[in-house]
């Protein structure tokens, strides 16, 4: 293998002055070091010149030069044959396209030019050094809320494309990303999740996910009563406290309102036989390594509720009774008024009661004060059966003393001194 090196700079300078149009061998690579992402496609580009009068017959890329041995065309190497593509154009641009880059591709790649003249062959030094990297998230496993956290997308060589971060599969745009770092200024429990990174242009080639846990004090505490609903005196009641927090809450302490020392500990607090003394407000304090938080619950007895029901029933009954009584009174009054009106209608008013003398009076049966009426005239013509049942009301009854009859001496039994002028019955 004849590798002719570029002539020293002063000579080139001299040649440029003396033989102005004479070109020499040269191979320039755009980049001498390339960092590629595992699985990506990479280009190695450059330009070349060759002395005039030569015709380029063949160009190819090779790796691992061995002194004195003609290098092998990479496209003929079974490891690369399917993954490499050589491109050249008339402006002496050349390029190697290498697909599905893998770690074992970490070599120095050289461009080889072969001409029609056996001795005029060229290998472009220093070649292109390829480095292959994977992406790996380096971050703490766990952060305490309020602290800062930096997540780094680690590579083994310097990638030029910008980094992209994902949380639970979604791109993160709101967070501070500087170079390959994601900066979490004040970590909150919401920052917990699965983080991965990628670089622009190769979003499909993401790092493996990294789980970030956030430690935080209890944020919510809830207390439940079992059995739920009304508590009957003498029954047993269990209060259960639950809370979030990371690490999970393991210490629960129970307090009763008004008391300074705890009444119990553990997630459950039981009252075996509840009495009125047990009622009141209970506090459950949930605590982990990062803080504590209280939850409250009110314990009341059913009896108090029943008392309220009794009051309600009592008041209700009273109101009902009152209404009934009022209705009764009203109705009675109404009936009375109707009867009164009726009796007024059927009232018989007698204007004159004449004590007749026409009827012969038997001496034998003459009672002492037997008054006998010959006619009773009614002023009111609408006489009904009512006047037999109802009490007749007499406006004026005049008893005229019968004149003593001399011809029937037996008749004279009445005391002539009694004179009825008016008998009124109301
Ligand atoms: C290299 O050349 C190819 C075409 O030959 C082009 O598509 C690619 O963008 C070039 N890459 C760089 C880094 O110049």
Instruction: Match 């979490």 to its residue by tokens.
Output: 184
* pLDDT of the residue at 243: 95
CB atoms within 10 A of CB 96: 24
Domain that holds residue 356: 346-426
Pairing mode, strands 26-29 and 251-256: unpaired
- Please indicate, yes or no, whether residues 81 and 144 belong to a single structural domain of this protein: no
Selected residue with higher pLDDT from 279 and 377 = 279
Would you say residue 262 has pLDDT above 70? yes
Q: How many domains, in total, are found in the chain?
A: 5
Lining ligand 1 with CB less than 6 A are 30, 43, 45, 87, 95
Residue identifier of the C-alpha nearest atom 13 of ligand 1? 43
Question: How far apart are the CA of 202 and the centre of ligand 1, in A?
Answer: 16
Please give the number of the atom of ligand 1 that sits closest to the Cα of 44: 1
106 or 318: which carries more pLDDT confidence? 106
376/381 Cα distance (integer angstroms): 12
Is 2 a member of any domain? no
Please, what is the average pLDDT of the chain?
80
Query: Of 80-89, 164-173, 225-234, 350-359, which range is least confident?
Result: 350-359
Model confidence at 241, pLDDT cuts 50, 70, 90, reads very high
Bigger pLDDT: 51 or 14? 51
In a domain, 11, yes or no: no
Q: Are residues 34 and 120 in the same domain?
A: yes
Residue 241 in 3-state DSSP? strand
Substitution site in 95, 97, 161 for ligand 1 pocket (most atoms within 8 Å of beta carbon): 95
Poorest-confidence range of 7-11, 36-40, 128-132, 384-388? 384-388
Q: Are residues 126 and 25 in the same domain?
A: yes
Residue with CA nearest ligand 1 atom 6: 43
> Ligand 1, closest atom to CA 95?
5
**Which tens digit of pLDDT belongs to each residue from 63-87?**
999 988 999 999 999 999 999 999 9
Helix (H) or strand (E) holding 311: helix 302-345
CA distance 111 to 95: 9
What is the number of the ligand 1 atom nearest to the C-alpha of 45? 1
**Same structural domain for residues 57 and 151?**
no
* Residue having the nearest C-alpha atom to atom 11 of ligand 1: 43
User: Using CA positions, which residue lies closest to atom 8 of ligand 1?
Assistant: 43
- Confidence at residue 64, expressed as pLDDT on a 0 to 100 scale: 92
Contact 191, 176 (CB under 8 A): no
Last residue of a domain, one of 215, 240, 275: 215
The stretch 49-74 carries a mean pLDDT of 92
Q: Give the separation between CA 290 and CA 246, rounded to whole angstroms.
A: 8
Shared domain for 42 and 124, answered yes or no, is: yes
For residue 84, how far is its CA from the centre of ligand 1 (angstroms)?
A: 14
Residue 270: which pLDDT band, with cuts at 50, 70 and 90? very high
Closest residue (by CA) to atom 5 of ligand 1?
95
Do both 128 and 45 map to the same domain? yes
CA–CA gap between residue 422 and residue 288 (Å, rounded)? 111
Position in ligand 1 atom list of the atom nearest CA 30: 14
Q: State in Å: Cα 162 to ligand 1 middle.
A: 18
Q: The whole model's pTM is what?
A: 0.60
């Amino acid at each position: 293998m004849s590798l002719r090196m570029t002539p020293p700079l002063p000579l080139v300078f001299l040649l440029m002055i003396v033989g102005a149009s004479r070109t020499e061998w040269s191979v320039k690579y755009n980049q001498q070091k390339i960092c590629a992402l595992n699985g990506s496609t990479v280009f190695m580009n450059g330009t070349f010149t060759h002395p005039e009068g030569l015709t380029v017959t063949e160009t190819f890329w090779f790796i691992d030069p061995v002194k004195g041995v003609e290098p092998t065309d990479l496209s003929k190497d079974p490891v690369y044959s399917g993954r490499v593509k050589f491109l050249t154009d008339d402006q002496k641009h050349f390029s190697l396209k290498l697909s599905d880059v893998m770690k074992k591709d970490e070599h120095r790649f050289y461009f080889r030019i072969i001409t029609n003249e056996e001795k005029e062959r060229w290998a472009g030094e220093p070649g292109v050094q390829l480095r292959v990297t994977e992406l790996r998230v380096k971050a703490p496993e766990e952060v305490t809320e309020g602290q800062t956290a930096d997540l780094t997308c680690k590579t083994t060589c310097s990638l030029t494309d910008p980094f992209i971060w994902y949380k639970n599969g979604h791109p993160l745009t709101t967070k501070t990303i500087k170079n390959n770092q994601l900066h979490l200024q004040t970590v909150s429990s919401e920052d917990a999740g699965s983080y991965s990174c990628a670089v622009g242009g190769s979003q499909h080639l993401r790092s493996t996910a990294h789980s970030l846990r956030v430690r935080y004090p209890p944020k919510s505490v809830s207390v439940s009563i079992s059995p739920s609903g009304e508590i009957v005196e003498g029954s047993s009641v269990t209060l259960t406290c639950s809370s979030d927090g990371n690490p999970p809450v393991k210490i629960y302490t129970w307090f009763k309102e008004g008391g300074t020392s705890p009444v119990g500990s553990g997630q459950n607090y039981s009252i075996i036989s509840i009495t009125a003394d047990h009622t009141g407000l209970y506090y459950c304090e949930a605590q982990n390594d990062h803080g504590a938080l209280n939850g409250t619950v009110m314990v009341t007895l059913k009896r108090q509720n029943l008392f309220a029901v009794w009051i309600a029933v009592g008041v209700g009954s009273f109101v009902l009774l009152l209404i009934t009584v009022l209705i009764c009174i009203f109705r009675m009054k109404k009936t009375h008024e109707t009867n009164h009106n009726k009796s007024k209608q059927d009232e018989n008013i007698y204007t004159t009661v004449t004590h007749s003398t026409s009827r012969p009076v038997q001496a034998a049966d003459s009672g002492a004060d037997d008054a006998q009426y010959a006619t009773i005239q009614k002023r009111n013509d609408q006489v009904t059966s009512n006047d037999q049942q109802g009490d007749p009301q007499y406006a004026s009854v005049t008893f005229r003393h019968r004149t003593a009859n001399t011809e029937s001496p037996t008749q004279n039994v009445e005391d002539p001194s009694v004179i009825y002028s008016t008998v009124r019955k109301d």
